[in-house]
Structure 1
């Protein structure tokens, strides 16, 4: 509110009493969506009859899909079939694209979250195991047998994606 009033005075030499709808619209249009936070102030000004000529509706969030289904499937295909990226990168990408897991969660996944049974592979993201479909399961099996950095960190490293530094200051508990 104070930034708006300061701007209104500096740009147009007006106060809230003399503010026009055009002034308010310009303020909203030329800044971040957080400027809609002055809506309560505008409503109060109208109720208190300080300025009844200006109005500001609710902000409607504009959502747009960041990744289309076609793009997602193309990336999955590239990660499964391609060899340009490292195996850990490909497995992490598949976890992101198939299970919508945030990268932070992927990076800290313990080996215990991969359940190997006679029926196939499953992943524990919560209470219920999620099956790993083929051909992702084949990539995951390959990653399990060829995890990087095990010579440095030890073969008993509990992480699905072990780091490259032994005894680093960052500690996690599986």
Structure 2
């Protein structure tokens, strides 16, 4: 078997032996990114499940398209899709976002997805701030409730999560898999306590994702103190 200078094949096998299912997914993610070029990974024992395996580069390419090309989808669908692809937000939570969740400050536009509002990257900030004025036309406009960023068909309601799910599927987005891919990226680049607060997940969940990526954030809190 071939070996990598940075990660010998026998070490890969030993690491997989203790938690094969989760660790193998992480190693395949590294391999797709070109970080394990000389290591051989076990062949999958079953067909790839698209709900749990999305190429991060493909996801990033889709996010770029939706961010920068107005003709790619409606403002609502582009904003919702990017909240899934980049900020790992669940469909039900996106559908229920309210106008008062937007915080415009001197430092930029923030969106309250968790206890600590997250600074939105451009041009997503413009998409989100446009949502309160991107309401339906005609009769539906009289039913639109100004409280919601994503208005529903019935008076006073926000968009139903099932409707938003169908719209995301039409864009080629599988919500669970896209969220997992986004969480892997966040967990590998941001301390668990930070991204848990920003995207609105429990610290224990964030810690498990960090462990899955192998990120060394254990001493981060102590270092800050």
Q: TM-score range by the shorter chain?
A: 0.5 to 0.7
SS at match of 1:92: helix
SS at match of 1:77: helix
Q: What pairs up with 1:1-12 in 2 under 5 angstroms?
A: none
Counterpart selection for 2:152 from 150, 157, 163: 163
Number of positions where the alignment pairs a residue of Structure 1 with one of Structure 2: 113
* Separation in 2, partners of 1:79, 1:101: 16
Q: TM-score, normalised by structure 2?
A: 0.43
Q: TM-score, normalised by structure 1?
A: 0.55
8 A contact 2:132–2:146 mirrored in 1: no
Structure 1 pair 94/124, CA: closer, same or farther in 2 (3 Å)? same
Counterpart selection for 1:76 from 56, 63, 68: 63
* Separation in 1, partners of 2:120, 2:76: 16
Greater Cα radius of gyration, structure 1 or 2: 1
Runs of 4+ in 1 over 6 A off after TM superposition: none
Q: Between the two structures, name the one with larger relative contact order (CA 8 Å, sep ≥ 6).
A: 2
Flag structure 1 segments of 5+ consecutive residues without an equivalent.
1-57
Which residue pairs with 1:61 in the alignment?
Answer: 21
8 A contact 1:152–1:165 mirrored in 2: no
The structure with the greater share of residues assigned to helix is 2
Counterpart selection for 1:151 from 136, 141, 146: 141
* Separation in 1, partners of 2:111, 2:156: 27
SS at match of 2:21: coil
* Separation in 2, partners of 1:126, 1:116: 16
* Separation in 1, partners of 2:131, 2:146: 14
**Bigger mean CA deviation after superposition, 158-167 or 60-69:** 60-69
Flag structure 2 segments of 5+ consecutive residues without an equivalent.
1-17, 30-52, 161-225
